[in-house]
Amino acid sequence: MDSAPDTTLLSTLKDRFGFTGFRAGQEEIVRAVLAGRDVLAVMPTGGGKSLGYALPALRLDAPVLVVSPLIALMKDQVDALVAKGIPASCVNSTVSVDEQIERLEAFRRGALRLLFVAPERFRSPRFLAAFEGFTPGLFAVDEAHCISEWGHDFRPDYLRLREAAEAIGRPPIVALTATATAEVREGIARSLGLRDPLVLVKGFERPNLEFVVTRVRSAEEKLERVAEEVLRGGRGIVYAATRKSVQETAIALRRRGGKIGFYHAGLSDSDRRTVQDRFKSGVLPVVVATNAFGMGIDRPDLRFVVHVDVPGSVEAYTQEAGRAGRDGGPARCVLLYRPADQRLQRFFVDTAYPPPAVVLAARDVVAAGGGAPVAEDDVVARVEADHPRAIDSALRILTEEGLVERGFSGAARTVRFVEDRPIDFPTLRRRAELDLKRLRLMLEYAERPGCRRVHLIDYFAGEGASTPCGTCDGCHAVSSRRDATPEELGRLRTLLGLVEALDSRYGKRRLAGILAGARTKDLLERGLDGHPMYGALGRLARAQVDRLFQDAFDEGLVRAEGEEYPVVAITPAGRAVLAGERGVTLATGTPASRSSRASGSDASSPPSGAAPAIEAADADPTLVNALKAWRLERAREDGVPPYVVLHDKTIVAIAAARPSDEAALLDVKGMGPAKVERYGRELLERIGAE
């Protein structure tokens, strides 16, 4: 152990790492590690977590063993240390057996101060035998959230790490991550068997980052907003959720004259390395990528990170957005949010946890091979599923459960049956529900009012951990609020009264239907048309009732409970409003024209102050044709001429505006409340499909 004075540590920090001072939390981690204490540290991307094991590696008597989950990240970490003159190396599946033996011997001699290993190495008895009679000075677990099955990036091999640490003499353990809530921190400490650890949650206050959520109504508007951010100048990353979205975005930006690269798992290894190297060297200023890009990309001067698709969790968003502005200079973290985009993330969750029948069918196909390798393409061909991604997920689940092993035969992927035992489907179901909860919390970040930075910091550090930044779009919106009018307050109390009366048993759509007096089969079969509050807001358009619910959610008067089938529950703040004990303030932009529409004004006339009509030239011809095809189908079903459903001018106006919700659809000339009530959902589905 080393109890060196501050000046000695600072000297090492400056001479070996080139820094003149510690960042928030770094010195506390280093001192605890040098004192032989276990540590669990949560610090944001770019917060300098790795110094917590890299600096002690130069002071401890024995070298440091580091567990890192990705080969590319491992290589980048080793390269960065070697460039600083710190002896480091790695052992993973890309290293030959002879070379692995040499590196392990060098590590035991102390010729290497750090050795990075992949977590799956600890499956090998031969690897563990190399540590017989030798205990590292520190066992460092990078990306420690991977050990928690409730974390956002669970990796089963991390569950072996406690046993591995015991097998090599149980050195002090430091667990590091950028993304761990209180629940996940407890899981990490328990799974690793940490002993009276120092727990640090530090460094999330990054005032140089400006967080922005921009609502968009169409894919075309997204591209315009991305282009605006890129044209501001500087280096940056644009994240998209799928390979298709990556390529379309990159092509669109190139057409605008940008020097743009793109990166996703479908590229060859050499192409991905080329993009990474060109971006790291500064030759390529902007890369459009899936979330596979960014680990180990240690460019401190990124001026923006833009997400064109909503991520699946706050953890993922924080990690990716946090790659901006590591040099302390101003940077923008922009999320382009279209509510319809959440369907993609829900699809990802659904296919990540396929039905048990799909998992069992995949198991049976592999088991039929009798322990011989079976081509994964054969499994895909013989198992029925809604999407091939679900079959890949089934094989992943079987691998995690230890029933099969995946490998390669030449370039072809194979899978081999290992063992037959029960599959823990209840746990898989709980993990799916947790992923849906994470998505809901991410959507709350995008949709709820208030400071963006406070939302993110409180998510990890606990409520009240931060104060409003005053600069984000959420702070600007909160700073300009107004008291709800008596009419608006009365409507909100009506909504809250229904939620409380029904004791949080129903979801938003059913509650809105009751208030609107909808004659749907669902409500009628349940007898809800006989409820005393049925039709209480029937004079409003359904879109206006939906907006009223959004106000209630935004102001924290109600909340969603449950994951797969969420219900609406009243909050203490909602009960106070219902009891008349407090008022309600609304964002200044909350439409004041709702009542004029409900009281009989001309539904085809735009409200005062509305944006000017969009020209027909703005309409997408493909969407116009799709809407006309839908209109013809609907007209035949209703037995009326097509123009009775919608006029051509209205269809063109819809195609030009591309509304993303019923409230926006209501603003299209020719779409009154009755038409929105009757056709709104069908129209929005057609718009979203194009």
Q: Please give the pLDDT value at position 612.
A: 35
pLDDT score recorded for residue 365: 95
Nearest to 175 by CA among 215, 119, 135: 119
Helix segments in 170-281, DSSP class H: 182-192, 219-231, 243-255, 269-281
CB 172 within 8 A of CB 139: yes
The neighbouring-strand residues paired with 210 are 332
CATH topology of domain 6-201: Rossmann fold (3.40.50)
The CATH class of the 209-337 domain is alpha beta
Place of tokens 């269809």: 651
Which segment, 31-40, 85-94, 423-432, 673-682, is predicted with the most confidence on average?
A: 31-40
Higher pLDDT, 604 or 519: 519
Q: What is the pLDDT of residue 598?
A: 36
Cα 244 to Cα 178, 253, 264, 393: the distances in Å are 28, 14, 10, 20
Q: For 346-429, which CATH class?
A: mainly alpha
Beta strands in 11-94 (DSSP E): 39-42, 64-67, 88-91
Across the range 550-563, mean pLDDT stands at: 78
Residue 611 confidence class, pLDDT cut points 50, 70, 90 = very low
**Which residues have CB under 8 Å from 410's CB, separation 6+?**
none
Query: Higher-confidence residue: 287 or 472?
Result: 287
For residues 550, 554, 557 and 563, what is the CA-based torsion angle, rounded to 10 degrees? 70
For the stretch 221-242, pLDDT in tens is 889 999 999 988 899 999 999 9
In this predicted structure, what is the pLDDT of residue 202? 81
Judged against a pLDDT cut of 80, whether residue 561 lies above it is answered with no
> Is the domain defined by 615-689 classed in CATH 1.10.150.80?
yes
pLDDT given at position 29: 95
H, E, C per residue of 636-652: HHHCCCHHHHCCHHHHH
| Mean pLDDT in residue range 644-649 | 78
Token pair 């990309």 in the structure block, residue: 297
Q: In the structure encoding, which two tokens stand for residue 443, read together?
A: 């959507």
Higher pLDDT, 673 or 171: 171
CB 26 within 8 A of CB 50: no
Mean pLDDT of 565-589: 81
Highest mean pLDDT among 6-10, 413-417, 499-503, 570-574: 413-417
Least confident residue range of 118-122, 386-390, 595-599: 595-599
Residue 645: pLDDT band by 50, 70, 90 thresholds? confident
For 487-519, the pLDDT digits (tens) are: 889 999 999 999 998 887 888 888 988 998 888
Mean pLDDT of 47-75: 90
pLDDT in tens, 356-387: 999 999 999 999 999 999 999 999 999 999 88
Could you tell me which of 211, 432, 249 has the C-alpha nearest to residue 331? 211
Find out whether 428 and 384 touch, Cβ atoms under 8 Å: no
At residue 106, the pLDDT reads 95
Query: Phi and psi (nearest 5°) for 357?
Result: -60, -35
Beta bridge partners of 117: 67, 91
Least confident of 265-269, 489-493, 561-565: 561-565
Contacts of 451 (CB under 8 A, 6+ apart): 466, 468, 469, 470, 472, 474, 475, 478
Higher pLDDT, 623 or 191: 191
Question: Where does the pLDDT of residue 481 fall: very low under 50, low under 70, confident under 90, or very high at 90 and above?
Answer: low
Asked if the model's pLDDT at residue 333 lies above 80, the reply is yes
The pLDDT, as a whole number, for residue 478 is 62
Domain residue spans of the chain:
6-201, 209-337, 346-429, 615-689
Model pLDDT, residue 396: 92
Among 5-14, 53-62, 219-228, the minimum mean pLDDT is found in: 5-14
Is there a common fold for 6-201 and 615-689? no
- Using left for φ > 0, alpha for ψ between -120 and 50, and beta otherwise, residue 263 falls in beta
Average pLDDT over all residues of the chain: 85
Q: Where is pLDDT greater, at 553 or 399?
A: 399
Q: What is the pLDDT of residue 76?
A: 82
Per-residue pLDDT tens digits for 428-468: 998 888 888 889 889 888 877 778 988 888 888 777 777 88
Chain-centroid distance of CA 393 in Å reads 19
| Residues in the chain, overall count | 690
pLDDT for 603 = 31
Residue 286 has a pLDDT of 95
Sign of CA dihedral 639, 643, 648, 653: negative
Q: How far is Cα 344 from Cα 347, in angstroms, rounded to an integer?
A: 5
Distance CA 472, CA 490 (A): 31
Residue 64: what pLDDT? 97
Judged by DSSP in three states, 241 sits in coil
Percent of the chain scoring above 90 in pLDDT: 36
Q: Out of 9-13, 116-120, 403-407, 608-612, which region has the weakest mean confidence (pLDDT)?
A: 608-612
What the block records as the tokens of 220 is 């075309």
33-37, 295-299, 468-472: segment of lowest average pLDDT: 295-299
Smallest CA-to-CA distance from 681 within 584, 543, 525 is with 543
Contact between 271 and 284 under an 8 Å Cβ cutoff? The reply is: no
Contact call for residues 636 and 620 (beta carbons, < 8 A): no
Residue 641 confidence (pLDDT): 63
Closest CA to 75 of 226, 268, 295, 244: 295
Q: What is the pLDDT of residue 482?
A: 75
- Selected residue with higher pLDDT from 154 and 49: 49
Residue 143 has pLDDT above 80, yes or no: yes
- In three-state form (DSSP H/G/I as H, E/B as E, the rest C), the secondary structure along 331-373 is EEEEEEECHHHHHHHHHHHHHHCCCHHHHHHHHHHHHCCCCCC
The helix/strand/coil state of 582 is coil
DSSP string, 413-479: EEEEE-------HHHHHHHHHHHHHHHHHHHHHHHS-S-HHHHHHHHHH-TTS----S-SHHHHHHH
Confidence of residue 296 (pLDDT cuts 50, 70, 90): low
Most distant CA atoms of the chain, gap in Å: 87
β-pair partners for 415? 374, 406
Instruction: Give the Cα separation of 71 and 156 in Å (integer).
Output: 17
